[in-house]
Amino acid sequence: MRDWIALLKPRVMTLVVFTGLIGLIVAPGHLHPVLGFTAILCIAVAAGACGAINMWYDRDIDAVMRRTRNRPIPAGRIAPNAALGYGITLAAGSVVMMGLAVNLAAASVLALSIGFYVFVYTMWLKRRTPQNIVIGGAAGAFPPVIGWAAVTGSVDLIPLVLFGIVFIWTPPHFWSLALWANEDYRRAGVPMLPVVAGAKETRKQIVLYTLLLVPLSLAPWMLGFSGMIYAASAAVLGAGFLAAVWRVATDRQDAAGVSLTNDAPARAAFKFSILYLFALFAALAVDRLAG
């Protein structure tokens, strides 16, 4: 049972479900609690399905990476075809349930997110370009849009802004991970930015994307959708994120762009990025519920 749960990538699912829940909470209108729970459950199941299909497809590279070699498929505890069938069944079931129980708009965006993650990111981009995370990051940015559509039956400007925040957040988040997992990706032949362009360029890109993210995070307030609780939270969290990535950017580097010290700044930035997104979306919900 533990291995079947591990296929769903539950830690990744947590953040996906949370942003979807916030999209549902801040959307105008009312959704019956049972239907709201169903919508969040569908988002969670779909995210897990994507994780299972991703593990099936990446089982060859997972086997040579220290960070992933003990996953259920490369470790031989679950057969690849069983994992694929598991993922497809969950993906199809989540979309059908969303369409039948909630509405077609939410089901359509959910199906789009699954297709984007599986076909565009996992099967096309991940092994072909160092921009895999930049473009593929759209897959993880859909949940707040899905939550909003579950309530309203439509997609409006605000959920697209929330989509944009998660989309721009993804590169500095994931490249911080890639910096300290650089040798794993190099060994597996995955063209992550640190492998292709070196650590120095990766640090530069992390800073640039974070500089874009901070003003974008204030967009809900500038558009009049949120108040000062959210604005102040976004400003403080943004300052904290900039401080974390600045420590990454100023870490000593050799001529090849590899850190001469250790991976502590990158690890810290990666962990803070998770806290940042949780706190930012939580502040939006608190602000809206506070009126």
Specify the residue for token string 């498929």: 73
Domain boundary among 106, 122, 155: 155
Counting as low any pLDDT under 50, the low residues of the chain are 254-261
Final residue before a domain boundary, out of 155, 188, 213: 155
Residue 253 confidence (pLDDT) = 57
pLDDT in the model for residue 252: 65
Confidence (pTM): 0.92
Same-domain check for residues 132 and 182: no
Considering the domain architecture, whether residues 103 and 203 belong to the same structural domain is answered as no
**End residue of a domain, out of 155, 189, 213:** 155
Tell me what percent of the residues of the chain surpass a pLDDT of 70: 96
Maximum Cα interatomic distance, the chain, rounded to a whole number of Å: 59
How many structural domains comprise the chain? 2
120 plus 218 within the same structural domain: no
Q: Is there a single domain that holds both residue 6 and residue 113?
A: yes
Beta bridge partners of 259: 253
Task: Check if the beta carbon of residue 129 is closer than 8 Å to that of residue 191.
Answer: yes
CATH assignment of the domain containing 68: 1.10.357.140
- Measuring CA to CA, how many Å separate 57 from each of 70, 89, 245? 15, 16, 32
Q: Which domain holds residue 263?
A: 156-291
Q: What is the 3-state secondary structure (H, E, C) of 173-191?
A: HHHHHHHHCHHHHHHHCCC
pLDDT in tens, 179-216: 888 888 888 888 989 888 888 899 999 999 999 999 99
